[in-house]
Amino acid sequence: MAMISIRQVKPEDDADIWAILEPMIRAGETYALPRSLSREEGLAYWHAAGNRVFVAEEEGVVVGTYILRANQQGGGSHVSNCGYVTAPFATGRGVASAMCRDSITRATAAGFRAMQFNFVVSTNERAVNLWRRHGFEMVGTLPKAFLHPTLGYVDAFVMFRPL
Amino acid sequence: MAMISIRQVKPEDDADIWAILEPMIRAGETYALPRSLSREEGLAYWHAAGNRVFVAEEEGVVVGTYILRANQQGGGSHVSNCGYVTAPFATGRGVASAMCRDSITRATAAGFRAMQFNFVVSTNERAVNLWRRHGFEMVGTLPKAFLHPTLGYVDAFVMFRPL
């Protein structure tokens, strides 16, 4: 297994990041985002104010990206939130797992006391199992909260992990 | 009991809306917002893009305000979300209940298929009981997800209602 390293984003990473985000957005199966989102809108979403953005590299090639942010403001700002996307050509090689591990380390170091995933699409079983392995527990099920492009209305999960 | 009527917001309602939002924000006990939020920031939050804003009136006096929006984009955009705030001088008179009932009617008419509350502070028992009476069920508990200014870390609830 190749070594996956994770670093903070640089401005010149935008092309690689969009190459990773676009197939996920166009597929519309895992994130609650409009499938027609433009490059500008997609990158603006990823780089939104308050987001820390990271990329995962394998032998100098960007194979994934993730965001880390506070899930709420004010009295809820001690709980973090992340979103992870792996490049289509790099799935099944532990990229998401490496990013999740890294995000837990960084969120803990930043003083967050927990991490929450607000909307894990239930049919994204690989993700659900991965988050469980990384210590996330099921808070509950949002019934039929996601319209999957081929499967119709499916459940989404809220998941949570103390840090 | 006086009649409570609900209408769409007008630009001239901002002073009344801020008079309702400010005590809630300063108290910091129910919404995950910075307690130091300025008038401009508070009104910008309430009037954020995608929010429909309404006010409740009793004998021509604004006694409450609420927002209605999609809770997620894309495949999650059929689930609505609302936030309600009652004027401090008008609590206990059914204002929140009237706003909730109105929001369910309007969300249904707008084609939403469900309504979700992402972050109901557990110590806000009046709200929790009210949402239950209006058909919301508990999705789950976010453990110690809210830092209450006097009670410390308390749970928050995710609640959901099909429409």
Q: Dump pLDDT digits (tens) for B96-128.
A: 999 999 999 999 999 999 999 999 999 999 999
Question: Which chain A residue has the Cα nearest residue B153?
Answer: A75
Mutate to test the interface with B, among A147, A155, A163 (most CBs of B within 10 A): A147
Confidence band for A15, pLDDT divided at 50, 70 and 90: very high
Query: A118 to chain B: which residues are within 8 Å by CB?
Result: 118
Q: Report the predicted TM-score, pTM, of the whole model to 2 decimal places.
A: 0.96
Query: B72 to chain A: which residues are within 8 Å by CB?
Result: 32, 119, 145
ipTM of the complex: 0.94
Partner-chain residue, chosen from A76, A119, A160, that has the shortest CB–CB distance to B76: A119
Partner-chain residue, chosen from B138, B146, B162, that has the shortest CB–CB distance to A75: B146
- If residue B64 lies in a helix (H) or strand (E), which one and from where to where? strand B61-70
How far apart are the CA of B2 and the nearest CA of chain A, in angstroms? 35
Of the candidates B141, B159, B154, B145, the one whose C-alpha atom is nearest the C-alpha of residue A162 is B145
- Phi, psi (deg, nearest 5) at residue A41: -65, -40
Partner-chain residue, chosen from B31, B142, B149, that has the shortest CB–CB distance to A139: B142
Query: A158 to chain B: which residues are within 8 Å by CB?
Result: 139-140, 142, 158
A73–B114 CB contact, under 8 Å: no
Of the candidates B139, B141, B120, B140, the one whose C-alpha atom is nearest the C-alpha of residue B130 is B120
Partner-chain residue, chosen from B72, B76, B141, that has the shortest CB–CB distance to A139: B141
Residue A13, pLDDT > 70, answer yes
Mutate to test the interface with A, among B77, B142, B147 (most CBs of A within 10 A): B142
Percent of chain A as helix, strand, coil, to the nearest 5 = 35, 35, 30
Residue B1, pLDDT > 70, answer no
Residue A2, pLDDT > 80, answer no
Of the candidates A37, A85, A136, A21, the one whose C-alpha atom is nearest the C-alpha of residue B75 is A37
In this structure, which amino acid lies at residue B107?
Answer: A
Mutate to test the interface with B, among A72, A77, A115, A123 (most CBs of B within 10 A): A72
Partner-chain residue, chosen from A76, A149, A153, that has the shortest CB–CB distance to B145: A76
Summarize the confidence of residues A10-16 as an average pLDDT.
97
- If residue A67 lies in a helix (H) or strand (E), which one and from where to where? strand A61-70
Q: Per residue in B6-50, pLDDT tens?
A: 999 999 999 999 999 999 999 999 999 999 999 999 999 999 999
What span, in angstroms and rounded, lies between the C-alpha atoms of A125 and A45? 24
**Distances from the Cα of B155 to the Cα of A67, B8, B81, B120, B137, angstroms:** 25, 33, 20, 9, 16
CA angle A73, A78, A79 (to 5 degrees): 90
B119–A76 CB contact, under 8 Å: yes
